[in-house]
Homo-oligomer: A and B are copies of this chain.
Amino acid sequence: MSVSESVEVTGHLMDSGILSRILDDIREYDGDYAIDRFDVGHEAGDTSRATITVTAEDDEALQRLLMRLQTRGVNQVDPGEAAVREAEQDGVFPDGFYSTTNLATKIRLDGRWFDVENPEMDCGLVVEAHDDGRRVYTLPMSDVRTGMQVVCGASGIKVTVPVVDKSQESFGFMESDVSSEKPQAVLVRQVADGMREAKAAGKKVLWVGGPGVVHTGAAPALVSMVDAGFVDVLFAGNALATHDIESSLYGTSLGVDLAQGRGVEHGHEHHIRALNTIRKQGSIKAAVDSGILTGGIMHALVTHEKPFVLVGSVRDDGPLPDVYTDVIEGQRAMRAEIKDVGFCLMVATMLHSVATGNILPASIPLVCVDINPATVTKLADRGSSQARGIVTDVGLFLEQLAIELVPDYRRS
């Protein structure tokens, strides 16, 4: 015996392709639908609104389909009240827990709507007594503890998709798809604008980087942007930091090679010795303070007291003493730094880009730069629908970006 629910969605339904994705979801979950009403604006720019009856074979299937549809911004016409159940095990949500989106979310409890704090996808929602009321916040599965109150099912929940004004928004260009055949110089300027806007609004600029930043010779450009205040926080792995430090410590030879443009094969011996040197000091900061590390990206961040979060991976040598070897602790450290981020630029790393995309709310503009189209595609597939991709050369891109952002930056 099948069960149904009436849902609605509002927005630029027809020119955003969102409706086709909604209907695909319904089919994928073996559901069915009937379109009850479809109000379409007459003019270009009007928003439209659809009301759809969604049917699934039983209530569990229906609840799960409704949760899925919420990732598209689809809400129940009559959301009702949120159901809450207690977690019975550490690190395990109750059955039927509500799996979150990264959209702005509200929860109805006892007739009152509560804003969910720090929206993040693929988490649960915890309700907690708070001062004279209640608070609702996202919590990753590994952090749930016995006795916590967790929202279950799809009732009593409303999400809001950020509305994009196509005519004004600077990143409109990247909407359609991921391509290497786009006027790249313009893209550089628009990324620069995005960063300036974030800074003007008192927000932080978050960078996520891979070792390609160093290999393509872009470290000086990045250092100049750190100096100029356009890097507020950096997320990376052991590799970016180690290659950067290795390049500073063994500057004579490696520096010459970078300057001459010779491709240097991975010199493990340099690499492993740089790691040992910093481990001996106890931390990157200690190596800067003791005068051992005198240049490069990590040096610039330490000097400007900008935070960085380095999270390890299974292929790491060393690692540097600053690296979180426990990835779950690393995720927590990243979460602690995303408050007030207003713009995020991801450069030359798939692993840390996806990890950052996982924890950022959909409202933060996100640009991913990589020479490999797959990195950008993967990011969007994982749910970071706000991600805009630029397939280009990382070295030249950062060089151009520094020219845009840093008045006195020029290539020596």
Contact = CB atoms under 8 A, between A and B. Distances in A.
Interface string A248-284: 0000110001111111111111011101100110000
A142 interface: yes
Contact of A35 (B41, B268, B318): B41
A276 B190 contact: no
A335 B100 CA distance: 37
Interface in A26-71: 26-30, 32-36, 38, 40-44, 64, 67-68, 71
Interface string A170-207: 00111111011111111110100000000000000000
A381 B265 contact: yes
A412 B212 CA distance: 29
Contact of A29 (B67, B175, B253, B397): B253
Contacts of A318: 141-142
Interface stretch (A87-95, A130-138, A226-234, A293-301): A87-95
Copy number in this complex? 4
Contacts of A347: none
Interface string A378-412: 00011100000001110111011000000000010
Given A15-B19, A141-B318, A268-B71, A217 B183 contact: yes
A259 B186 contact: yes
A319 interface: yes
Given A263-B179, A315-B358, A122 B272 contact: yes
Contact of A393 (B14, B175, B396, B411): B396
A215 interface: yes
- Nearest first, the 10 closest Cβ-Cβ pairs linking A and B are A183-B217, A186-B261, A184-B395, A173-B261, A181-B215, A396-B396, A392-B393, A393-B393, A315-B355, A314-B355
Given A92-B276, A313-B351, 6 more contacts: A172-B260, A180-B393, A184-B396, A185-B217, A266-B382, A311-B314
Interface of A: 14-17, 19-20, 23-24, 26-30, 32-36, 38, 40-44, 64, 67-68, 71, 89, 91-93, 95, 97, 99, 121-122, 140-142, 172-177, 179-188, 190, 212, 215-217, 237, 252-253, 257-269, 271-273, 275-276, 279-280, 311-319, 321, 325-331, 334, 351-352, 354-355, 358, 371-374, 381-383, 391-393, 395-397, 399-400, 411
8 contacts: A29-B253, A38-B38, A64-B269, A67-B269, A99-B269, A176-B263, A313-B313, A399-B400
